[in-house]
Structure 1
């Protein structure tokens, strides 16, 4: 039985409706708020938490529900309110309460309940008098299910593990407290690109729970076990690991017909009132999919229609604090990006990681990369860009199975970055073809092609190129 139930409603659940939905599970329940009212929590009469609801989110782009939950967007209308109801893992009654509360919202406001079977699980009043729920492990983080001195463990039972506001807050809180976040999912769960990047940055771990009862790392395949206060790798050769350090469930799934184009871009702009962010990302999206991004937000689902001006206004309001954003594409052009906007002594930097998916009859536009690099250097203050390709799912999600690592295609340096290697001679660069000048003619950057697509020797070429550029920096 799932621990999360989501109400996708056609109308905004106002505070009175939320309270009525929560209390519809029975009379022996109490309400409390967390995070200055951002989270409403249902407790038993002793204050033990049972169900938490975060502030409803407006999805002006309903296909986000399709991307993350598999709910068809045509069932939702032009916009939809996304309300997450999260039950504690401690008791089955709490999970039934979540189904009752979310079902009440859908019944009153119209819409769709996820998962569909929750409608049957949440019928009637739930008896909570015998519930034995533990005290909250972290009063400010209702998403955390198990808390130890070194780890914050979150259980998620969804088709797609996304960088939700729950998960994002758990990562930030754990980092501030010196803990590692470990997210436990079933083996069929997929990991979105923004969630994968956030876990990597926070040094978190994706723990996959096998049907037979074992655990393994969803990104590396390492066999895991609960080692007193966290999930950790089981020593190779032990009985728990089956004599191998890699789980059998991590076997590769053949997928030769789908690919992902991966871009890591860094730009730096002068900080002034005329600055509008998002130009480099939009240019990359247009070049490589033929369309602009569809939606953006601070977490997944990304509920706001794409707008560079609104994005900039949000980041400016937060400055000088950094801003982290998620950007996604339309269903016919699957793509996702994580954007980090940071105010530095040099100006306003954008650190962008973009993944774009291509199907069987959609060859990645490798020939467009040099032109994209030229536009980024000419118009969007490019510092550096790395272009890579990999065999992977068209939806840009990562499965809990082995995937071949990406292969680098090209490296681009803007004028300022290339200028730091002023002693570099193009003819001395160890590449299969000479680099191309990009950007302004009077002060160009360089585009370095690393070889043919899917050639494993491209890694050696990239390492040689980087060593050459570093050596030139030391000489100047």
Structure 2
């Protein structure tokens, strides 16, 4: 299995320090660049990569190394430099480890994982073989077929790193599925879960009993026809081809932990004075009493929270969409993904946000109506759905069954209410009456729903409401 090795250093690795690290394979190893110079590679004589090194990233957000690696970094700000060893080359992993160890020694700090970065000695790597092109052409991809790009991630948390983000884009451009393989015990960042496209993309978890299974559905998988795919039960008939569910996936226990999940969409008029991120910050302040801690276009989130800088990045990338991850402080776990898109209607922000709570903490459910009114009256809210889930406080997605959330409330923005004929938005088949938000002449509507985490009947009410609003 391939290894990612990361140096967490007090000082920025300058070109001479990086060169010293690159020479961990000896002076006969050649250096190449990929990604417009953003990735430096140790290559063999044929130009094929042994180790790929990402440009150093300055992390200015507390808690990211702890959240994603379980590592203790230098004080913020610190530098995060990733090296990825090529598949199938045992010496490549030691090269990556020695590179990270040298960086940590020369610039102060540590390397992760500790056992992969213990030696500063030159690694003998003569006569080794490497993964064949085209798999090696994309640093994050370990196996490439005509159906899927497979990425192997041996880290505590599979995060939306710059490597993995590049793999997502490459797979999408090639019209391939992306399959992320990880060992047992690894969790998934919500940023990756929310970004996984549909079939045949999936999270593949290694399991000593079943071999492999889907970390989100539990379906037992096998490598077949160039990708990981579900297997049929041995006792299945032609009329009943059910896929078995891994026993490990079903081993769950109640912890009392919960998550408050908020999904919403805003549509702003395209204007030079537009400031993005305001709606997300409003939600964060209403539910936690503080703004987000940081954000980035990949994980780790490396920049202090700044709506103006987020706006600059989005406008600089337009008309291409912008994806970002936003995180909270370590004592109040919170994570959001934001997708900003320029459309005919204006500038759309699609946000998926969750906060985690322990068994002795109460989610701030009473704040939801006020939060909805702030979004509806100040931030061009189109719609919002709030759910309560039985799930981990730290927000990490385990390769175990997590039940669906239950809906607490749905909100329809003022413009959507205005477009509905008659009193359809005000008169619904639900027993609870909607609450008007904002001015009477142009109100938004807040629809409370029964949010009992032990009862999924709330989804029936939600479906009835959606059918009513759509006049189905």
Do they superpose with TM above 0.5?
yes
Counterpart position of 2:403: 404
Q: What SS class does the counterpart of residue 146 from structure 2 fall into?
A: coil
Counterpart position of 1:159: 156
Structure 2 residue 118 is matched with structure 1 residue 130: no
Q: What SS class does the counterpart of residue 417 from structure 2 fall into?
A: helix
Conserved? CA contact 1:424–1:469, under 8 Å: no
Structure 2 residue 112 is matched with structure 1 residue 114: yes
Aligned partners of 2:200 and 2:280: how far apart in 1?
26
Aligned partners of 1:79 and 1:434: how far apart in 2?
50
Aligned partners of 1:395 and 1:288: how far apart in 2?
16
Counterpart position of 1:445: 444
Which string of whole-angstrom CA distances, capped at 9 and with x for unpartnered residues, describes residues 124-182 of structure 1?
22121131223233454211000001110000000001111111110111111111010
Counterpart position of 2:18: 18
Q: What SS class does the counterpart of residue 357 from structure 1 fall into?
A: strand
Q: 1:202 offset after TM fit, Å?
A: 8.2
- Cα distance change on mapping 1:427 and 1:30 into 2, 3 Å: closer
Consecutive unaligned residues in structure 2, runs of 5 or more: 237-241
Counterpart position of 1:142: 139
Aligned partners of 1:134 and 1:415: how far apart in 2?
56
- Cα distance change on mapping 1:94 and 1:305 into 2, 3 Å: same
Aligned partners of 2:323 and 2:153: how far apart in 1?
22
Q: What SS class does the counterpart of residue 315 from structure 1 fall into?
A: helix
Aligned partners of 2:299 and 2:104: how far apart in 1?
21
Conserved? CA contact 2:275–2:308, under 8 Å: yes
Counterpart position of 1:264: 263
Counterpart position of 1:430: 429
Counterpart position of 2:60: 60
Aligned partners of 2:59 and 2:108: how far apart in 1?
15
Conserved? CA contact 1:137–1:144, under 8 Å: no
- Cα distance change on mapping 1:6 and 1:202 into 2, 3 Å: farther
**Structure 1 residue ranges, 4+ long, deviating more than 4 angstroms after superposition:** none
Aligned partners of 2:398 and 2:359: how far apart in 1?
18
Q: 1:237 offset after TM fit, Å?
A: 2.0
Q: 1:290 offset after TM fit, Å?
A: 1.8
Counterpart position of 1:277: 276
Aligned partners of 1:213 and 1:2: how far apart in 2?
21
1:220-299 to structure 2, matched below 5 A, reads 220-237=217-234, 245-299=244-298
Counterpart position of 1:336: 335
Counterpart position of 1:205: 202
Aligned partners of 2:245 and 2:316: how far apart in 1?
46
Structure 2 residue 100 is matched with structure 1 residue 102: yes
Conserved? CA contact 2:214–2:221, under 8 Å: yes
Aligned partners of 2:359 and 2:233: how far apart in 1?
38
Greater alpha carbon shift after TM alignment, 322-331 vs 430-439? 430-439
CA RMSD, Structure 1 to Structure 2 (Å): 1.8
Counterpart position of 1:461: 461
TM-score (norm 1): 0.94
- Cα distance change on mapping 1:203 and 1:429 into 2, 3 Å: farther
Q: What SS class does the counterpart of residue 327 from structure 1 fall into?
A: strand
Q: What SS class does the counterpart of residue 263 from structure 1 fall into?
A: strand
Q: 1:22 offset after TM fit, Å?
A: 1.2
Which string of whole-angstrom CA distances, capped at 9 and with x for unpartnered residues, describes residues 103-143 of structure 1?
000000001111111233x4422121131223233454211
Q: What SS class does the counterpart of residue 348 from structure 2 fall into?
A: strand
Aligned partners of 1:169 and 1:449: how far apart in 2?
40
Conserved? CA contact 2:387–2:451, under 8 Å: no
Q: What SS class does the counterpart of residue 82 from structure 1 fall into?
A: strand
Aligned partners of 2:99 and 2:68: how far apart in 1?
21
Aligned partners of 1:142 and 1:254: how far apart in 2?
38
Counterpart position of 2:239: none
Q: What SS class does the counterpart of residue 421 from structure 2 fall into?
A: coil
Conserved? CA contact 1:222–1:233, under 8 Å: yes
Aligned partners of 2:351 and 2:360: how far apart in 1?
27
Which string of whole-angstrom CA distances, capped at 9 and with x for unpartnered residues, describes residues 221-255 of structure 1?
0000000311111112269xxx9610111114213
How many matched pairs?
Answer: 466
1:338-353 to structure 2, matched below 5 A, reads 338-353=337-352
Q: What SS class does the counterpart of residue 342 from structure 2 fall into?
A: strand
Q: 1:46 offset after TM fit, Å?
A: 2.7
1:377-416 to structure 2, matched below 5 A, reads 377-416=376-415
Q: 1:71 offset after TM fit, Å?
A: 1.6
Which string of whole-angstrom CA distances, capped at 9 and with x for unpartnered residues, describes residues 313-357 of structure 1?
111111121111110111101011110111111111100000111
Q: 1:200 offset after TM fit, Å?
A: 3.5
Conserved? CA contact 1:44–1:128, under 8 Å: no
Counterpart position of 2:3: 3
Consecutive unaligned residues in structure 1, runs of 5 or more: none
Residue of structure 1 aligned with 2:192, choices 189, 192, 195: 195
- Cα distance change on mapping 1:21 and 1:156 into 2, 3 Å: same
Q: 1:427 offset after TM fit, Å?
A: 6.3
